[in-house]
Amino acid sequence: MQKEAAIREPLILGHKSYHDVTEDVCRPIEDKAPRMWYILFGIALIIGLYGVGCILYLLGTGIGVWGLNKTIGWAWDITNFVWWVGIGHAGTLISAVLLLFRQKWRMAINRSAEAMTIFAVFMAGLFPLIHMGRLWVGYWVLPLPNQFGSLWVNFNSPLLWDVFAISTYLSVSLVFWYIGLIPDFATIRDRAKKPVAKKMYSILSFGWSGRAKHWNRFETVSLVLAGLATPLVFSVHSIVSFDFATSVIPGWHTTIFPPYFVCGAVFSGFAMVQTLLLVMRKAMGLEAYIHTKHVEYMNIVIMVTGSIVGTAYITELFISWYSGVEYEAYAFLNRATGPYWWAYWSMMTCNVISPQLMWIRKLRRSLMFTFFISIVVNIGMWFERYVIIVTSIHRDYVPAAWSMHYPSHIDIGVYIGTIGLFFVFFLLFARYFPVLALNEVKTILKGSGQSYKESPDYHKHH
Amino acid sequence: MTRKYWKGLEELKETPEFIKQRENEFPSQVSVEEFLSDDKLNETSTARRDFLKFLGFSVAAASLAACEAPVTRAVPYVIKPENVTLGMPTWYASTYYDGSSYTSILVKTREGRPIFIKGNKDFGITKGGVNPQIIASVLGLYDSERLKNASIGGADVAQSKLDAEVISALKSAKKVTLISNTVISPSMNRAIGTMAADLNVNGATKFEHITYDAVSYSAMREANLQNFGAAILPSYDFSKAKSIVSIGADFLSTWLMATEYAAQYGSRRNPEKEVEGEWMSKHFHFESTMSISGSNADYRGMIKPSEQAAVLSYFIKGLGGACAVAANVPASAEKAAKEALSSLKKNKKNALVVCGSNNVGLQLLTNQLNSLLESYGTTIDLNNDLKLFQGNDKKVQAFANQVIAGKGSDMIIFMGVNPVYTLPNGAAFGKALKGVKTTLSLAAYADETTTLCSHASPDHHALESWNDFQVKPSHYAVAQPTIRPLHDTTSALESILVWNGKASRAGKDSNVAYDYIKETYATIFPLGDFAYTTHNSCENITVAAATALTYKSAPITNLPKSGALEVILYQKAAIGTGVQANNPWLQEMPDPITKATWDNYITMNPVEMEKWGYVTTYDQEHGLDLATVTVNGLSVTLPVYPLPGQAINTIGIALGYGRGANGEKIGKAAFQTKEYGGYEVGENGLHVPIGANVFAFASSNFELEAVGTIKKVDGTYKIAATQIHHTVMGRHSIVRETTLDTFLAKDKEAYNPAHTLQKLNKEGHHEERPVSEFDLWDAHPVEKIGHRWGMTIDLSSCIGCGSCLVACQSENNVPVVGKDEVRRGREMHWLRIDRYFASDEEAAVGQRKDKETFSYSKAELAAENPKVVHMPLMCHHCNHAPCETVCPVAATTHSNEGLNQMAYNRCIGTRYCANNCPYKVRRFNWFNYPSYKKFTEVNPAQDDLGRMVLNPDVTVRTRGVMEKCSFCVQRIQATKLVAKKEARMIIDGELATACSDACPTNAIIVGDWNDSKSSVFASSNSKRAYQALEEVGVKPNVWYKVKVRNEVNELLSSIQVVKEAPHHEKKKGQH
């Protein structure tokens, strides 16, 4: 068993026993859902269905129902795509990278973070699909053997790399998440009284028996998957950034993009985790497991990645001037002072200034403040993508083609709809899945539980 | 004797079995009921189960078969018609005349359908000169709202019934007036003359023929009558004029015979000519509203209409003439006037002054000036006079007033005119028509006048009928039909003959007009061969040298009055006088100057607009402020458009809009449509017309200048413009401009420098090398192997007329998307013409005045009277095309002939290619234009008849795919095939794309760049050639040629100098 310095804050508060952990995690699944859950689920479902309706209208009528034009071929669609992919970054980072670095505090948050990742990637994946003019032949992006002659995909296209990157990321994340869920499903199965639930959970738990051999394999697979997933954390958003970085458009054609995008993604992903968990811990009574210390840790990640993102913004500005390229210089001048100045300065305020407040200990340990900032960060990160995509192409090389982008209500409907769908998925997850990796949490109970840290025995060992 | 063949011996012998069989050739049909009720059915071995199996199979088979797209209306030829080979175009030489434009044309027909019109460069006097209206006129043939029948009182009747009524009305009428546009057809004139002679027996004045032009040039004829004793319009030769001064005459677009002038002008705008010992003309323009001609001028002065006389007087006095008019040239035209005067003095005989006003006084001054210059005889030819625009304002107005007073003719025949719409007092005239006993219209549409007429006998479309023209005494031309009449219309010429009892109807295949024209021809060319003339479409007539007309001065009176606000009514290149206002191609053609589509508006200088508090910018969601203009007590409310170059205290409004205001059925595309399809309906329950009619603002003597007032009113109006940013932001690698002096005296480096990058040479030193030497990618194997198609566009000769744009739309089945979509920045034009105004930060378009103080925010604003560059832009077919690398499914690829090709079938519509295109030339099918309800009214492809105009060689694209200029790949293939069949190489000049074909000034050259003898290769290697955005490294196959302005621009000359080699390079080798 791993020991932790006594001066470190305990990760599990209250005097929890192993059984308490099981009880705390399983209670929401076994009890009837609270009224609030139904209300939230209903709202999310309505919004989600509205989004689905907008998508169906889009597919039935044409991309023209969006506010795009001859100059601006991508706007909200790809902005939303990158935004959701970015959000989907935190989960794997928490479960894979933090696992490799043996950060035990991740155990309280990794399950929901991973779930969030998967749902966010679902939403992200939706946009490249529906943004296609002819979705029904969208499968042509897959290198499938075909009877069209020697037709093959274009391996030069970053959009194709996206297909591979996103699908790989989604499948690895899904497997990783599921592997982690198996022992917890088994616990629920063992406690389930209703036959249907028992049947379902026993199918889901893959016949887990809790034998040492199973645990051994579980640990090994987790480690292997963590090893696999770690490069993916960096590759996915790097590749998404190639969509822009390999182009010839000033403002897109930027070598700084891969690291900048990855940091931005982690930044927004953690913010989303904060948003979700701060509500969930309260609603599901998990304050003992996810508490100020966890929030503080995450705020530090937000602060660090936010600072990197801020540095990247300023580097971009400097390079655009230093390069002496007329179009590059204008693209950035236009971002800051052109017709979309408000988007640029929203982005700067939300992403550069707000994370710097986390240097103040009082603020980064304030739950209300954290919740507020987490939303600000995600607004900022949405604007970041909007600024990169729209303000770069709305005024690129040929001034006669310069244009403005105005979103249509379908643009807005699809975006809001994906948020609704995301919450539909997340609420279902919170209702039926163990939101905390209960078996993993138990492993740190004796090392980092409050009662053990406070007991005289604990100090003796050191 | 017909031979008889037998199917077999049985038939020969007529055996009984055979006879029985023959009678029963088709086995009698058994109905399902009969079949099922057949008793024997029970005896058959088909079990119930088997039956169900069969049933199931047939249902499945039937539904599978139903999945295939149904083939609709495919009717093959049973017998191959002569001259029609399926898949091969047949070209007809013909002539276009619509009452204002005249030109020799070539009509392309496919399987009997005319689908494309271009100027005839080989025959005729117009040398390929066209305008957008001429090219777009082919679409009018297939307008489903053309009148299809004769009608009386709005009800369709047989032509014979109408003829009978007309003949009896002609007999019984006390006074018959035929009011027509200028008739330049010798045959029609002969027919009318005969009719007049027959009706005006014994010197009676029962029949009168009045010529009425919607836009009148009567003042020119009147001035010439006073000065030379002959009411004529002279011929002008702009190719002989070294110095051109135009006072408000848009001679490149709508003034007189612009189709002829544009080509003449274009031939003198090539600065290379100067090197070859020839010369480049110098063009001075003085006007109020910026016109196409004004935008091409070397010097442009802004003057109010009332100041035209002062400018003319300034020149007259400067040349030593006497003039009573004060010569106070306004400051906004002073520099141009000064330069013009010195140029006029220098060139004297070789100068030409034209004036666009319909004011007699101004035309007298112009004549005085031209006679001082002695340009009569050199640039102006009074002997070979122009037969266009013979209208006499006084006669027309007297006639209109008589009708309004109810004292006029009791029978009026309208031919090629729409006075209810175009007369200044048209509304009153229209009301009065009810009081006329018989009113007969020959118009093709139920237009403003026709709907008020008692009788209508619609004329053929020009492409359906024979015609002959004599636009000048020396030139005879024929128009031949290219399709059998689509509807039960009748040729106007035939009608006149029939009504006069000189011929009888013979249905659709009638030869009446043809025979009559041949008769006329025989009188002009007693030894002529009509077939040969028809083949060439024209013939020259030797005119006996007329006596030289001598100038004698005349008193100048009634010059335009000045006012606090002067209003100019002008014609747009696409809409003109509104004859084709229902043509969606023309409505959607961006105005060459304002780039706005589907509307007319009030043009005002942005400097003045700022002062009065109007908004000066607009985009998709931000409209322009509305204002009400009042002239002579009449007012219209229109948006105020910020047009740089508009003279201060003047506004301009285009004619030709507001057609069909009373719900006349003048064409599907002639009205405003709603966001989700369908027409806008006004408060009066009628369709809302496009723009407003301002013909009523013209004075009673048809002058298009007036004094009025303007008042800002509440509300804004969204304008659909294809360009919302108007300057090039000093981007020298997009537009390059220089002066003639710089071009002649300095090295290429001065005005057309190659973009350079630094690279390490062998000694390890930095070296500036041209960007063409750098390559990120492997070169495409198109260099010197096979063909490599290239294009050069001369910004100096391009006048921005828009003909190429419409020709491209016509050739490539480019959909029309309507106002709402254009406003959203989604026009589909494969070729656009970017129009850049110079800003105050630029010494010329695209050249920063001072690199240090250059301000982007100031560069966004056009100068008060800016220089203009028109830049046609289409796909550049880059050899390192950025669009090709990013397509995930390889739908856009490079051909081994250097073309960037689009496989529509493969496209999945990610739009990544469009984003990554530096030139922004790719167009996405946002909707299913051929079927979505939003485009029913505007897109011809949604109309059963309109669809006939589609070019069968070009796919109609479906929604969700990207499209763009293909360099007319269908024409390239056709050209290659012809050459291949004849076992030869492609001849240079054999290939023409739609745009190069249409260009009246030959600014666009296409050809095989790998052929080192080709003109495109030579052109691309000229000192003026550059590639736009060369530094991006995409290696385009399109070259532009630097715009050369024949002006003195000291600032520009001081900037455009050969730069000293960098310091380290000079000392190369010393390190």
Cβ neighbours of B914 in A, within 8 Å: 70, 73
In this prediction the pTM is 0.89
Contact indicator for A408, A65 with CB cutoff of 8 Å: yes
Return the residue of A nearest to B725 by Cα: A400
B724 contacts in A (CB within 8 Å)?
Answer: 402-404
Cα B311 to Cα A412, B329, B565, B965: the distances in Å are 58, 6, 19, 45
CATH number at residue A350: 1.20.1630.10
Structural domain of residue A366, as residue ranges? 34-136+152-425
Q: Where are the beta strands (DSSP E) in B14-60?
A: none
Query: Testing the interface with A: which of B920, B923, B927, B1030 to mutate, by most A Cβ within 10 A?
Result: B920
Which of B915, B939, B1034 is most worth mutating to test chain A (most A CB atoms within 10 A of its CB)? B915
Asked if the model's pLDDT at residue B34 lies above 70, the reply is no
- Give the tens place of pLDDT for each residue, B643-673: 999 999 999 999 999 998 888 889 889 999 9
The radius of gyration of chain A's CA atoms, rounded to the nearest angstrom, is 23
Taking a C-beta distance cutoff of 8 angstroms, is the pair B549, B229 a contact?
yes
What would the mean pLDDT of B367-390 be, rounded to a whole number? 89
**Which of B889, B935, B1032 is the best mutation test for A, with the most CBs of A within 10 A?**
B889
Closest approach of B563 to chain A, Cα-based (Å)? 36
Does residue A437 sit in helix, strand or coil? coil
Tens of pLDDT along B170-203? Answer: 888 888 999 999 999 999 999 999 999 988 888 7
Residue pLDDT, tens place only, B483-527: 989 999 999 999 999 998 888 888 888 899 999 999 999 998 888
Confidence at residue B479, expressed as pLDDT on a 0 to 100 scale: 92
- Look at residue B1060 and give its three-state secondary structure: coil
SS (H, E, C) B933-990: HHHCCCCHHHCCCHHHHCCCCCCCCCCCCEECCCCCHHHHHHHHHHHHHCCCCCCCCC
B888 touches chain A (CB under 8 A): yes
Beta strand extents in B675-765 (DSSP E only) = 705-717, 720-721, 737-739, 756-760
B855 reaches A (C-beta below 8 A): no
Asked if pLDDT for residue B383 goes beyond 70, the answer is: yes
In the stretch 967-1006 of chain B, residues with CB closer than 8 A to chain A read none
CB atoms within 10 A of CB A105: 20
Complete DSSP assignment for B207-267: EEEEE--SS--HHHHHHHHHHHSS--EEEE-TTS-SEEEEES--TTTTSSSHHHHHHHHHT
Q: B648 touching A, CB under 8 A?
A: no
Examine residue A213 and state whether it is found in any structural domain, yes or no.
yes
DSSP result, B326-383? -----HHHHHHHHHHHHHHHHHGGGEEEEE----HHHHHHHHHHHHHHT-BTTTEEEE
A244, A252, A398: best mutation site toward chain B, by most B Cβ within 10 Å? A398
Contacts of residue A450, Cβ cutoff 8 Å, sequence gap at least 6: A10, A12, A13, A14, A15, A16
CB contact under 8 A, A62 and B959: yes
Q: Label residue A45 exposed, middle or buried (CB < 10 Å: 0-12, 13-18, 19+).
A: middle
pLDDT digits (tens, 9 = 90+) for B851-895: 888 899 899 999 999 999 999 999 999 999 999 999 999 999 999
β-strand partners of B392:
none
Distance from CA of B479 to the nearest CA of A (A): 40
Is B443 within 8 Å of chain A by CB?
Answer: no
Answer whether B886 sits within 8 Å of A140, measured CB to CB. Answer: no
With 90 as the cut, is the pLDDT of residue B135 above it? yes
User: H or E element: which one contains B51?
Assistant: helix B48-66
Kindly state whether residue A25 falls inside one of the protein's structural domains. Answer: no
Tell me the one-letter amino acid at B216: S
Coil, helix or strand for B1058? Answer: coil
CB A306 within 8 A of CB A349: no
pLDDT score recorded for residue B616 = 93
Contact A398 B873 (CB under 8 A): yes
Residue A4 domain-assigned (yes or no)? no
Instruction: Name chain B contacts of A153, Cβ cutoff 8 Å.
Output: 888-890
Task: Give A-chain residues touching B1030 at CB under 8 angstroms.
Answer: none
Residue partners of A87: CB distance under 8 A and separation at least 6: A116, A117, A120, A124, A265, A268, A269, A272, A378
Count of Cβ atoms closer than 10 Å to residue B1068 Cβ: 14
Which of residues 67 through 86 in chain B touch A, CB cutoff 8 A?
A: none
Chain A: residue whose CA lies nearest to B822:
A69
Instruction: Please give the pLDDT value at position B117.
Output: 93
Is residue A13 in some structural domain? no
Say if residue B584's pLDDT is above 50.
Answer: yes
A52 touches chain B (CB under 8 A): no
Given pLDDT bands bounded at 50, 70 and 90, which one contains residue B566? Answer: very high
Residue A436 belongs to some domain of the structure: no
DSSP reduced 3-state for B141: helix
B756 touches A: beta carbon within 8 Å: no
The string of DSSP letters for B800-846 reads: --SHHHHHHHHHTTPPP-HHHHHHTT----SSEEEEEEPBTTEEETT
Residue B667 neighbours by CB under 8 Å, 6+ apart: B143, B145, B445, B581, B582, B583, B660
User: B residues 783-822 near A, CB within 8 Å?
Assistant: 821
Spatial strand order of the sheet with B155-157 comes to B155-157, B150-152, B455-456, B438-441, B411-415, B176-180, B207-211
Residue B297 sits at φ, ψ, to 5 deg, of -70, 150
Percent with pLDDT over 70 in chain B: 94
Quick check: B932 contacting A, CB < 8 Å?
Answer: yes
Distance from CA of A134 to the nearest CA of B (A): 5
CB proximity B620 to A under 8 Å: yes
CA B468 remoteness from chain centre: 22
Q: Chain A: nearest CA to B602, how far in angstroms? A: 22
Please give the structure tokens belonging to residue B731: 């981007």
CB contact under 8 A, A397 and B916: no
Token digits of residue B319 = 């040349």
Using a 10 angstrom Cβ sphere, with 0-12 exposed, 13-18 middle and 19 or more buried, the burial of residue B531 is: exposed
User: Cα(B89)–Cα(B195) distance, rounded to whole angstroms?
Assistant: 40
Longest dimension (CA), chain B: 117
Chain B residues with beta carbon closer than 8 angstroms to that of A67: 824
- Chain position carrying tokens 């408060």: B683
A70 contacts in chain B (CB < 8 Å): 825-827, 914, 920, 922-924
**What residue in B sits closest to A392 (Cα-Cα)?**
B915
Partner residue facing A400 (CB), from B725, B887, B927 = B725
**Residue B764 exposed, middle or buried by CB count within 10 Å (0-12, 13-18, 19+):** exposed
Q: How many alpha carbons lie under 13 Å from residue A287 in its C-beta half-sphere?
A: 5
- A1: in domain: no
Exposure on the CB side of residue B682, measured as CA atoms within 13 A: 13
Nearest by CB to residue A160, choosing from B620, B835, B888, is: B888
Residue B1062: the pLDDT is 54
Give the rounded distance of the alpha carbon of B859 from its chain centre. Answer: 32
Q: Structural domain tally of chain A? A: 1
Could you say which residues of chain A have pLDDT below 70?
1-3, 456-462
Q: Do A69 and B826 touch (CB under 8 A)?
A: yes
pLDDT in tens, B767-825: 888 888 888 777 777 667 789 999 999 999 999 999 999 999 999 999 999 999 999 99
- Residue given tokens 């086995």 in the structure block: B27
User: What does the pLDDT read at residue A94?
Assistant: 82
Residue B865 pairs with which residues in a beta bridge? none
Structural domains of chain B in order of their starting residue, each with its CATH number: 9-66 (no CATH), 150-215+391-540 (3.40.50.740), 233-384 (3.40.228.10), 566-721 (2.40.40.20), 737-1055 (3.30.70.20)
**DSSP codes, A170-226:** HHHHHHHHHHHHHHHHHHHHHH--SHHHHHHHHHHTTT----HHHHHHHHHHHHHHH
Query: What is the rounded distance in angstroms from the CA atom of residue B390 to the CA atom of residue B397?
Result: 14
* Interchain CB contacts (distance < 8 Å): A and B: 176
Instruction: Please check the confidence at residue B546 and state whether its pLDDT lies above 80.
Output: no
Averaged pLDDT for residues B889-909: 91
Q: Is residue A356 part of a domain?
A: yes
Local structure of B530: helix, strand or coil: helix
A259 contacts chain B (CB < 8 A): no
What pLDDT, on a 0 to 100 scale, did the predictor assign at position A119?
93
The predicted structure's pLDDT at residue B71: 55
